Amino acid sequence: MFSLNSLALPLRNVMRNRRRTLVTLITLIVGEIALLIFGGYANAVVDGMQTGIVQQIGHLQLQRKNYFLLGTGSPVDYGIADYRQVMTEVERDPVLKPLVQVVTPLLQLQGIAGDFNRGVSRTVAGYGYVAGDQNRMREWNEYRFPIEPKKIALPEGQSDAVSLGIGVARTLRLCDALAVPNCPKGEPTARSSGGAAMPDDLGALSEAEAAGARPAADGKPRLDVLAATANGAPNVINARVAAAESLGVKEIDDSYMAMPLEMAQQLVYGRDRPQVTSVVLQLRSTADIDTARARLEALIKARGWDLEVLDYRTLFPAYDQTRALFASIFGFILLLIGTIVLFSVANTMSTVVMERTVEIGTLRSMGVRRGGIARQFLGEGLIIGALGTVLGCGLAVLCALAINSAGFTWTPPNSIEKIPLVVHMFNTPDLIVGSVVALLLLAAISSLLPAYRAARIPVVEALRHV
């Protein structure tokens, strides 16, 4: 019951001046909480961003070499002709099979959509999708965000239906028909300034193509979609507009148009062999991305395909930019908090050494070596550091749980859609372990000099100290 191990003495000394210890602890606790909450928030934002990206473009895409850099405007030159064989091989591959959740083709095209009779049109970025695959991709939620998967507006199994971004729907004056939010009333309905003017002969072409098809039987509006074919001639398809949806980013909403893959292929390749611009792979877990990529690259080499593998970070550079931004803010906060912790602990420990100078002399006279004195004060600094960071961690976890269950939402920059505001602290141990180690290390470093000084005080002077 009286045993005095090496921890007991520093621990009691730490508890000696409770008020001062508490002030130092609060610095550490608040610092730890700030680091963890901000870090957890940054994690959640980045995870949320990754979730959104992976739901839409998958983890990895196989594309023809340089399509990403040079060819996005010309699907004709960069089409993957044997995409079905590529997909089959990927789906059957023993390494990829357990990692991959969805393999789906994608044909991206540039086109013009319009109702040329009403005189409205605009350029669109067209996506030829397999709607069912896209809906399966949108179920991806590795980070367990409290949201239900949202199906894409493009209906499954309707070969003549397309869906629009809400911005496209607005410019095409389809607000009422598609129940688009935020539509200004009383705007001129014809020849909108933003729309692309349609040459008369093309208008005639589309008339011919869609003769008798308008108005649609189900009351849904119809549109003409125009794109350049492989031989350079324009091609027009008349499509039924099933719905408008928001992709969360206004720039995308202003140009987005989804259509069935077959429709896109018909637009671009006409009666030629249908191709795609990408084979999209969505993995079960982002952690497998390097394994999957390496395997794909090996496959490409073995088969001699003229393809390259691009990951979502390359395809969507804003992801890494956002990560870097948060990392630099986190670094700045760490620097601030680290400095405060450093000075706070150093100040406390210097005061402690001053106050206990006679005690140091007493211990030394009893035979404690210099190293023993240094260790004792270092130990006290570490105890304060450990208490502060552990308490800080505990409180931060409670805060995180509270925030995560409060159901807050927020609108990220460059976005128009509200998303849940959550804090991710546990997906990887990096944040908690890193911040605890950093603050502990700082507490140790700031105790070093006072501890060293304490050890070097001549015994006689220490004993004379008043």
Contacts with another protein, residue ranges (CB under 8 A): 2-4, 9, 12-13, 15-16, 358-359, 361-372, 458-460, 463
Smallest distance from another protein to CB 391, Å? 22
Smallest distance from another protein to CB 45, Å? 47
Smallest distance from another protein to CB 12, Å? 4
User: Residue 463: exposed, middle, or buried by beta-carbon count in 10 A (0-12, 13-18, 19+)?
Assistant: middle
Smallest distance from another protein to CB 9, Å? 7
Smallest distance from another protein to CB 24, Å? 18
Q: Which is nearer to another protein, 335 or 354 (CB)?
A: 354
Classified as helix, coil or strand, 401 is helix
Q: Which is nearer to another protein, 223 or 384 (CB)?
A: 384
- Are 219 and 141 in contact by the 8 Å Cβ rule? The answer is no
**How far is 363 from 432, CA to CA, in rounded Å?**
38
DSSP 141: -
Q: Which is nearer to another protein, 342 or 463 (CB)?
A: 463
**How are the residues of the chain apportioned to helix, strand and coil, as percentages rounded to the nearest 5?**
50, 15, 30
Q: Which is nearer to another protein, 4 or 217 (CB)?
A: 4
Q: Which two tokens stand for residue 425?
A: 């602290």
Classified as helix, coil or strand, 228 is strand
Q: Which is nearer to another protein, 16 or 273 (CB)?
A: 16
Name the strand (E) or helix (H) holding 232.
Answer: none
Smallest distance from another protein to CB 346, Å? 22
Backbone angles phi, psi at 236, to 5 degrees: -125, 140
Smallest distance from another protein to CB 140, Å? 58
Q: Which is nearer to another protein, 181 or 372 (CB)?
A: 372
Smallest distance from another protein to CB 328, Å? 45
- Are 130 and 261 in contact by the 8 Å Cβ rule? The answer is yes
Q: Which is nearer to another protein, 313 or 375 (CB)?
A: 375
Q: Which is nearer to another protein, 161 or 363 (CB)?
A: 363
Nearest residue to 341 (alpha-carbon basis) of 431, 440, 205: 440
DSSP readout, 27-80? HHHHHHHHHHHHHHHHHHHHHHHHHHHHHHH-SEEEEETTIIIIITT-TTTT-B
Provide the β-strand partners of residue 124: 111
Q: Which residues contact 32 (CB under 8 A, 6 or more apart)?
A: 388, 389, 391, 392, 393, 395, 396, 435, 436, 439
Q: Which is nearer to another protein, 317 or 367 (CB)?
A: 367
**How far is 36 from 32, CA to CA, in rounded Å?**
6
**How far is 108 from 106, CA to CA, in rounded Å?**
6
The 10 Å CB-count burial string (b at 16+, else e) for 287-315 is ebbeebbebbeebbeeeebebbbbbbbeb
Q: Which is nearer to another protein, 5 or 193 (CB)?
A: 5
Name the strand (E) or helix (H) holding 193.
Answer: none
Q: Which is nearer to another protein, 9 or 252 (CB)?
A: 9
Smallest distance from another protein to CB 460, Å? 5
Smallest distance from another protein to CB 388, Å? 20
- Are 59 and 96 in contact by the 8 Å Cβ rule? The answer is no
